[in-house]
Amino acid sequence: MVFIFPVLLLLFTSFSNQNNCKLKGVIIGFDATRCGCCGGWKIAIDDAVFLTDSIPNGIVEKGPDGCHIFPQKIYLEYEREKICNKRLKITCISRRD
């Protein structure tokens, strides 16, 4: 338990949630599949779909029933994961209209 808290703190503080992200993308859903290179939030960038493990609270809107509303337009910056080429580590993210 002591190990989990610093990891979670590092994960959620590594995002930049400002409007200076350069790329446009769209969060199109969530894939609940569990395997090494699958599962997570689905993000469309240009004509490709990528996956990421986490998105900060407040980026994906929820409807009155508590379910996420898709699609959600975003600005983002990312790094590609080395092992799974369809996975991203988001370094900057913000909502766009």
Task: Tell whether omega for the bond before 64 is within 30 degrees of 0, i.e. cis.
Answer: no
- Model confidence band, residue 89 (pLDDT cutoffs 50, 70, 90): very high
Report CA dihedral (30, 31, 35, 38) to the nearest 10 degrees. Answer: -80
Share of the chain above pLDDT 70, in %: 80
Full-model pTM: 0.78
Does a cis peptide bond (omega within 30 degrees of 0) precede residue 71? Answer: yes
Band the pLDDT of 97: cuts 50, 70, 90.
confident
Q: Where along the chain do its domains lie?
A: 4-95
Q: Encode pLDDT of 7-47 as tens digits.
A: 343 444 455 455 689 999 999 999 999 888 889 999 999 99
pLDDT at 75 over 70: yes
